[in-house]
Amino acid sequence: MRQLISTGSAWEPKVGYSRAVVINNTIYISGTAGKGPDVYAQTRDALSIIEKVLTENDFALSDVVQSRLVLADFEHWEDATRAHGEVYGEIRPAFSLVHALPFVEDSILVELEAIAVRTRG
C-alpha cells in the first residue's frame, strides 16, 4: 500500500511531489527546509519538522535509517552537522552531506531528507 503525506504546501501539487510517502513499514521524507536566521537554526527546525512527520505517521526518530543534509553554503557545514548530531547522535543513521547550488528561495540555506523503517509492531 502506498500512502501519500501532504503538508498542504503550494509547492507539492505544483512540482508534483509529496512531503512523504509511506510504503509498508518505510517512510520516505522529501527535502525539508526549516526556518531560522542561520544554518544551525534552519537545520534544527527542519529536523523538528521531520520528527513531526514521523510521529504523525506512527514512526519514531529512532526509526530513521538514512539522512541526507543538503547545504547551499558549504562554509557553514559544521553548524549544520552539529545540529544533525545533536538530534541523531545515538541513532546514527547512514548519512550524506551534499553541497548544492542555492535553493529556489534565497532564504533557504539547508534541506534535509530522511528514510525511516518502522521497527516495532
Residue 95, φ and ψ in degrees, nearest 5: -145, 140
As a CATH number, domain 2-117 is: 3.30.1330.40
pTM of the model: 0.93
Contact 19, 30 (CB under 8 A): yes
Contact 29, 50 (CB under 8 A): yes
Q: Which of 109, 105, 104 is nearest to 74 (CA)?
A: 109
- Give tens-digit pLDDT for 86-110: 999 999 999 999 999 888 888 999 9
- Give tens-digit pLDDT for 6-37: 988 888 999 999 999 999 999 999 999 999 99
